[in-house]
Amino acid sequence: MRQLIEQQILPRVTKPIRYQGNEFNSVHKDWGKAQVRMAFAFPDLYEVGMSHLGLQILYGLVNDREDLLLERVFAPWTDMEDLLRRHNLPLFSLESYRPLRDFDILGFTLQYEMSFTNILNMLDLAGIPLRAAERSDSFPLVVGGGPCAYNPEPLADFFDFFVIGDAEEVLLEIMDTAKAFKQGPSGRIAKGDFLAEISRVRGIYVPKFYEVSYNASGGIEKIEPVNPRVPAKVVKRVVKDLNTAYFPTKPIVPFADTVHDRVMLEVLRGCTRTCRFCQAGMIYRPVRERDQETLLKQAKELVRNTGHEEISLTSLSTADYSCVQPLITSLMEEFKNEMVGISLPSLRVDAFSVDLAKEIQKVRKTGLTFAPEAGTQRLRDVINKGVTEENLMEAVAGAFAAGWTTIKLYFMIGLPTETKEDVAGIAELAYKVLKKGKEILKEQKSKKSLKVTVSVSSFVPKSHTPFQWVAQDPVVMLQEKQQYLKSLLKDRHITYNYHDARLSFLEAVFAKGDRKLGQVLETAWAKGCKFDSWSEYFKYETWLEAFRECGIDPEFYAYRRPGFEETFPWEHLHTGVSKKYLFEEYQKALQAELTKDCRLDRCPGCGVCGDLNVKLLLQRRGKGGAL
């Protein structure tokens, strides 16, 4: 099959390098010697998938074990798909060019809702029946993990099971269990027995063992396990200490230019800032920091093993890392001769972050992005952003003074309680930033041109957040707000970007969706929906047709304001954060009342530490950190 693809297919597609699979540090194992074989599937393009740290972690973790094998597969671009279909070739893994059907386990990472149709498309391309109930033991087990696994209900029909939470430990448990249930001359896994066994493991959710009943108004009556042996609530997995957790120091080095083409050094996991819209901030709790020595050692190995010219210090909020300043200083010192740059993917809006940016731009200068999220102080308090206009002005002043001339600002529209004033506030803030820049450039007698980019996305209410009770703004309202902002941002130094509100609407539907949406997904896919988050393939009308055909109203999911008592489709999946706490945060939001970071202030009682028997793991030794 490899020969056929390399000679007849690859020369005809754009970027054949996407399908090569022989990158430096890729692992090519003896198929026959591996006892459990898994394919890690990323339901988007190679360039997107290879920028995902989770893939590298699990790839290294599994392939370090002699008896196990993990290979990769990405969504093929449409030209590749057409050729595969025309030649009747099944979707294959990159390393061994084996059909996906031949694997024991097929694992999809669920990074965003609008990649769900790509999952169905990949299964179909692989010749694997879409619905779990239609797959006999001769097909692979299909598992999903990642952030969207916290509400996987729209996918429940298509998956055998889901992993809720960190996968570093549980994936090996899954593969060991699979090994034990491989049987007979065919060597396939006895799925029924396997699922019965694995459903009792913490962090594993087997949807067919849970029955959902609906009430008259279309909401959920209850979700119950079908037998007493499975837990009523599936509790997420947490790796307690990142210092002892597996971390790959020989990641695959892609040839192709990927979205994040650099070493990813994960400095911490979790975030306790409590932005009320942010799902990641809730599901990745508690904060667990890696110690500096571990990070320095990993950074050295990573650069030696990859040759990358840049190290990205990744996390939800790297400026919050207790030892961020000493860490950056040590890394800069370590790599100054090799011209390895350091980058911070997400900056907090304050002067401290700008100081960090100044420090790292000695090697390579990158753009600066800040996320005030909302245009007025009142609305920033509603979302608990914990950022003031003063913070922002201080930060941008520092940035302009240090020589940056392009600044990007991220905002959201459609946040709860938003008024016209709040929307106008986005434009006002942009103009203030521009004015500040002009003043500073004038002082410096600089002739450089300024550019402020205002990037505005539409708020999507997500499960497991205080805003899960919020109704999304209707598409037309979001579009009006987008146009209103456009009319206000008429300066040639300001660039204004915004996303398709219709895509955000569908995202909300699936983010808060239930099992009934499975048929909509299947219908939309059958009508040709795929690569929905790629604007050239997004077919909104087709999606609406699919909803109509299935007799399902998408507005029910996105526009309704549920009550506190309402049972959510994800009620049986537990992040450790209590529903009561989320609702309290929602109430506080409506009053524009702030909640402080629990690292700085008292514990607001989210419940994670007690419920999951974990604790914040902070490196207090560093000086100059944000704390």
Partner 1 sequence: MGRYRIEFGKESGARFLSHLELMKAFERALRRAGLPMAFSEGFNPRPKMSFASAVAVGVTSAREYLDLELREELEADQVLEKLRNTLPPGLSVVSCRKIPPKVPALMAEIEAAEYEARLKLTDKLTKAEIDDAIAKLLERDSIVVVKEGKKGPENKELKEGIYELRCTAVEEGWAHLLMRVKSGSRGNIRPEEVLKALQELALLSFEPELAVIHRTGLFVNRKGQLVSPMQ
The rounded distance, in Å, linking the Cα atoms of 448 and 404 is: 10
CA dihedral for 596, 597, 599, 603, sign (positive or negative): positive
Q: Which residues of 428-456 are buried (b: 16+ CB within 10 A; e: fewer)?
A: ebbbebbebbeebbeeeeeeeebbbbbbb
Q: Which residues of 477-489 are buried (b: 16+ CB within 10 A; e: fewer)?
A: ebbbbbebbeebb
The rounded distance, in Å, linking the Cα atoms of 190 and 610 is: 37
CB of 310 to partner 1, least distance (A): 11
87 part of the interface to partner 1, by CB under 8 A: no
Region of residue 106 (phi > 0: left; psi between -120 and 50: alpha; otherwise: beta): beta
CA dihedral for 188, 191, 195, 196, sign (positive or negative): negative
200 part of the interface to partner 1, by CB under 8 A: no
Q: What string marks each residue from 41 to 60 as x (binds partner 1 by CB under 8 A) or -?
A: --------------------
Which residue is associated with the tokens 């029946």? 129
Q: What does residue 588 show for φ and ψ, rounded to 5 degrees?
A: -65, -35
CB of 366 to partner 1, least distance (A): 10
Listed ranges 107-115, 249-257, 265-273, 380-388: which one lies at the site for partner 1 (CB under 8 A):
249-257
> Which CB, 139 or 335, lies closer to partner 1?
335
The rounded distance, in Å, linking the Cα atoms of 141 and 625 is: 45
Burial class (CB in 10 A: 0-12, 13-18, 19+), 191: buried
Among 67, 82, 193, 257, binds partner 1 (CB under 8 A): 257
Calculate ∠ Cα 270-274-280, nearest 5°.
Answer: 45
131 part of the interface to partner 1, by CB under 8 A: no
Burial class (CB in 10 A: 0-12, 13-18, 19+), 195: buried
CA dihedral for 111, 112, 116, 117, sign (positive or negative): negative
Q: What does residue 48 show for φ and ψ, rounded to 5 degrees?
A: -80, -50
Q: What string marks each residue from 284 to 303 as x (binds partner 1 by CB under 8 A) or -?
A: -------------------x
592 part of the interface to partner 1, by CB under 8 A: no
Residues 350-379 that bind partner 1 (CB under 8 A): 363-365
Among 307, 367, 528, 610, binds partner 1 (CB under 8 A): 307
Residue 601 is encoded by which pair of tokens? 């202030």
Q: What string marks each residue from 394 to 413 as x (binds partner 1 by CB under 8 A) or -?
A: --------------------
> Which CB, 49 or 254, lies closer to partner 1?
254
CB of 204 to partner 1, least distance (A): 37
Contact by Cβ (8 Å): 261, 366: no
> Which CB, 155 or 340, lies closer to partner 1?
340
Q: What string marks each residue from 314 to 343 as x (binds partner 1 by CB under 8 A) or -?
A: -----------------------xxxx---
Q: What does residue 49 show for φ and ψ, rounded to 5 degrees?
A: -65, -35
Contact by Cβ (8 Å): 473, 481: yes
Residue 441 is encoded by which pair of tokens? 């450039």
> Which CB, 305 or 479, lies closer to partner 1?
305
CB of 46 to partner 1, least distance (A): 12
> Which CB, 362 or 561, lies closer to partner 1?
362
562 part of the interface to partner 1, by CB under 8 A: no
345 part of the interface to partner 1, by CB under 8 A: no
> Which CB, 324 or 357, lies closer to partner 1?
357
Residue 134 is encoded by which pair of tokens? 């239609």
29 part of the interface to partner 1, by CB under 8 A: no
- CA proximity to 568, closest of 474, 461, 473: 461
Among 255, 497, 561, 590, binds partner 1 (CB under 8 A): 255
How many residues sit in the footprint of partner 1 (CB under 8 A)? 31
17 part of the interface to partner 1, by CB under 8 A: yes
> Which CB, 178 or 342, lies closer to partner 1?
342
Contact by Cβ (8 Å): 492, 521: no
Cα separations (Å) of 357 from 341, 398, 399, 619?
A: 11, 10, 8, 21
Residue 417 is encoded by which pair of tokens? 């309680």
304 part of the interface to partner 1, by CB under 8 A: yes
Residue 147 is given by DSSP the state G
Listed ranges 17-25, 427-435, 518-526, 605-613: which one lies at the site for partner 1 (CB under 8 A):
17-25
> Which CB, 364 or 435, lies closer to partner 1?
364
The rounded distance, in Å, linking the Cα atoms of 510 and 113 is: 6
1 part of the interface to partner 1, by CB under 8 A: no
Among 11, 185, 228, 551, binds partner 1 (CB under 8 A): 11
Residues 6+ apart with CB under 8 A from 173: 201
Among 35, 78, 243, 305, binds partner 1 (CB under 8 A): 305
253 part of the interface to partner 1, by CB under 8 A: yes
> Which CB, 95 or 585, lies closer to partner 1?
95
CB of 395 to partner 1, least distance (A): 21
Contact by Cβ (8 Å): 346, 316: yes
7 part of the interface to partner 1, by CB under 8 A: yes
CB of 26 to partner 1, least distance (A): 9
Among 308, 432, 579, 596, binds partner 1 (CB under 8 A): 308
C-alpha 486: how far from its chain's center?
Answer: 29
Coil vs helix vs strand at 198: helix
> Which CB, 302 or 454, lies closer to partner 1?
302
> Which CB, 137 or 309, lies closer to partner 1?
309
> Which CB, 10 or 351, lies closer to partner 1?
10
Contact by Cβ (8 Å): 513, 569: yes
CB of 551 to partner 1, least distance (A): 46
Among 16, 90, 474, 604, binds partner 1 (CB under 8 A): 16
256 part of the interface to partner 1, by CB under 8 A: yes
Binding positions for partner 1, rule: CB under 8 A: 7-8, 10-12, 15-17, 20-24, 253, 255-257, 303-309, 337-340, 363-365
